[in-house]
Amino acid sequence: MQHLTLNGEIRQVGNKAVIKAFRRQGLVPCNLYGQGIENILFTVSAKELKALTDTPKSFIVDIVLDGKTYSAIAHECQWHPVTDECLHVDFLVVSEDKPIAIDVPLRLEGHPVGVQAGGKFTQLSRSLRISALMKDLPDELKIDISPLGLDKRLTAGELHFDGVTILSPKTTIICRVKTTRAMQQAAAEAAKNA
């Protein structure tokens, strides 16, 4: 999995006025926590953070604080309800010897057989939650959708990847090919005329 480096400044616990002052300076308050470390409060530049928040990709984030680097994942982001600005991020420290749970984007490859027969393709999921060791984490999950026929769907329970456990519910529908209304009408007329 790709790594992204963020440089942060350690901060003290503050009230709302202090937090608002950080945001006016273009900084986003963050919290780093996890097993084996005490909570660390820090701020990062809102511009730097956009490389993490404004992309469908997933990253292992290397956070540099006072010369020390922590590997983490973005655990939770809080957003402004109107402006969609990132207000706060919680980072969870990860290690190479324990499985990491993270959302990974899907990349669908191929041209479904059902679409070639005139069906309509719909993608319902853009990512799946998976668990794997850091060395086994993929940048994206590649799925071949070529065998997908008419009125068929692909669910998370049908997928298997080496070294990866899928945490999303098995019933999560990734994509489907449906018969179009025009195809149904043509089939009905063909049945009438037969």
- Segment 54-103, tens digit of pLDDT: 888 888 999 999 889 999 999 889 998 998 889 999 999 998 888 999 99
- pTM here is 0.76
Q: Which residue(s) pair with 166 in the sheet?
A: 130
Domain region containing 68: 3-94
Residues 89 and 108 in one domain: no
Q: At which residue do the structure tokens 């984490």 appear? A: 137
Residues 82 and 152 in one domain: no
Q: 187 pLDDT band (50/70/90 cuts)? A: confident
Residues 82 and 39 in one domain: yes
Which of 74, 94, 114 terminates a domain? The answer is 94
Helix (H) / strand (E) containing 32: strand 27-34
| Closest CA relative to residue 59, chosen from 99, 108, 9, 102 | 102
Q: 13 pLDDT band (50/70/90 cuts)? A: confident
**Considering the domain boundaries, does residue 48 fall inside one?**
yes
**Considering the domain boundaries, does residue 194 fall inside one?**
no
The CATH number given to whatever domain includes residue 124 is 2.170.120.20
Helices (H), the chain: 16-24, 46-53, 113-116, 181-193
Inform me whether the pLDDT recorded for 8 exceeds 80.
yes
- Segment 119-172, tens digit of pLDDT: 899 999 999 999 999 888 899 999 999 999 999 999 999 999 988 999 999 999
Residues 168 and 184 in one domain: yes
Residues 86 and 10 in one domain: yes
